[in-house]
Amino acid sequence: MSEPSTVGGLRLDPATARSSPLGTWHRATGADGPAGVLRIGADVGLEHLVAVTKRLRELELPGIVPIVDLVRQHRRTWLITAQPPSPTLADLMDTPDLDARRAVEQVGRTVLALHEAGLVHGCLTPASVVIGADEEFRLADWGLPGTVDGDVAAWAELARRVATARAAHDPDAAAALGRCAELAADAGLAAALTELQAPEPSATQLGERAAGRAAGVAAGERAGIRRFGPGVPPPAAPAWAEEAWREGAAAPARRRRARIVNVVITLVVVAIAAAVGLWLRQLPPLQVVGVDVRTDPRGPACDGTAEITGIITTNGGSGDLEYRWVRSDGPQPDDPPPLRVSGQPTVRVTLRWPFAGPQDAEHTARLEVLRPQQAAAEQRFVHRC
């Protein structure tokens, strides 16, 4: 089946389609400018993806591609983002002006923020790191089942791949990334990020870099090349470079203060993570104390999708929660992966039930909790079309 030309009021650019583990990404254009549209693959666990996406939309983490909406259209599910899905880190690893250390560090801090929020990414590769027009590095392709250890291992592998690609352009950065990749496996992601703090350049290096980048940008503009990464000067680069040279003696002091602040912030994050880990170890085993299912009893519109919400009440403990949805019409959705619950008194899960064609019937959606103990609830609704 061919892709539609528009989704959610956005016009897709078929020439920009690229595959990802979650489906197919497209660059798109709407009234507000460029955007991204992901057609979610049929083999992706939709309920888990929807739950993670809703949580990320609430958190508004700066290192995540901004989420606009999840829609059901053309008999498919689509994720719409406010940022196009390209270029990615995989596209630009070999470009001379990419700041590899900053890219890998930003990705690591976003992964750490996900873990502190009780989430995992599940699919971290250079192709899942999108570079915005503001030259910030943000993560896409979240929502696959995964673990914290899996994310850390994926970040270390990403650092190694970037190091290999950057060896000819920036051997010092490549060596630092290689060391941090090994440190992540031994001491954790937070320790690796602390180690990755960039060394301070000298005043001479500062002036040379500014002048060199100014010349590179001028050449790139003549060739029609768009470069990414920090330190790429605007058209008035020569004046900026001269000013940076004059103030070279003061610049390292400012960077030293900034570095100290970053180190302090990292230590605070590590302390918080340790405190959270201690708190989680003190939680009781997870128990389910109630299950409820809610939906609009009038059912969805013609060719619409019924959204059924399951509310699982717990004792606030810690453990794995297994559940499944049972539909009265016969076809059953795939069982979602177990949810890791820690200190959450309420867990919400969603079933999206699509309908097509004329119908006048009553349906039942049943939510069954399988572990830590069995419990169930159901809700009836009518679909008339």
Instruction: Classify residue 227 by its DSSP letter.
Output: P
Q: Quick check: 109 and 192 in contact, CB under 8 A?
A: no
Nearest-angstrom CA–CA distance, 381 and 328? 11
Round to whole Å and give the CA distance between 134 and 332: 44
The domain ranges of the chain are 6-81, 288-384
Tokens linked to 241: 């470079």
Euclidean distance between CA atoms 360 and 342, whole angstroms: 42
Q: What is the pLDDT of residues 107-119, one digit of tens each?
A: 999 999 999 999 9
Query: Among the CATH numbers 3.30.1490.190, 3.40.50.2000, 3.40.47.10, 3.30.200.20, which is that of 6-81?
Result: 3.30.200.20
Determine the Cα–Cα distance for residues 69 and 265; give it in Å rounded to an integer.
32
Per run of 10 residues, the mean pLDDT along the chain (length 385 residues) is 85 91 93 93 88 92 94 92 94 88 95 93 94 93 90 95 90 91 89 74 49 44 39 38 40 54 62 54 82 86 87 90 90 80 86 87 92 91 87
Residue reference for tokens 């606030």: 316
List Cα–Cα distances, 186 to 107, 110, 177, in angstroms: 19, 20, 14
3-class secondary structure, 62: coil
DSSP state of 299: -
pLDDT tens sequence across 294-334 = 988 788 888 888 889 999 999 888 899 999 999 998 767 77
Question: If you ran DSSP here, which 8-state letter would residue 124 be given?
Answer: -
Per-residue confidence (pLDDT) for residue 272, from 0 to 100: 62
Check residue 177 and give its pLDDT: 93
Instruction: Tell me the one-letter amino acid at 292.
Output: D
User: Mind listing the pLDDT tens digit for each residue in 211-269?
Assistant: 544 444 344 334 333 334 444 444 333 333 334 334 444 444 554 565 565 666 666 65
Instruction: Identify which of 312, 329, 328 has the alpha carbon closest to the alpha carbon of residue 320.
Output: 312
In this predicted structure, what is the pLDDT of residue 217?
39
What secondary structure does DSSP assign to 2-57, as a single string? Answer: PPPSEETTEEE-GGG-EEETTEEEEEEEETTEEEEEEEE-TTS-HHHHHHHHHHHH
Identify the pLDDT of residue 36. 95
Residues listed for the chain: 385
Q: What is the pLDDT of residue 302?
A: 86
Question: The pTM is what?
Answer: 0.53
CATH of domain 288-384: 2.60.40.3880
What are the φ/ψ torsions at residue 117 (nearest 5 degrees)? Answer: -90, 5
Which one-letter DSSP state was computed for residue 84?
A: -
Query: Which backbone phi and psi does 23 adopt, to 5 degrees?
Result: 150, -135
- pLDDT at 211 (0 to 100): 54
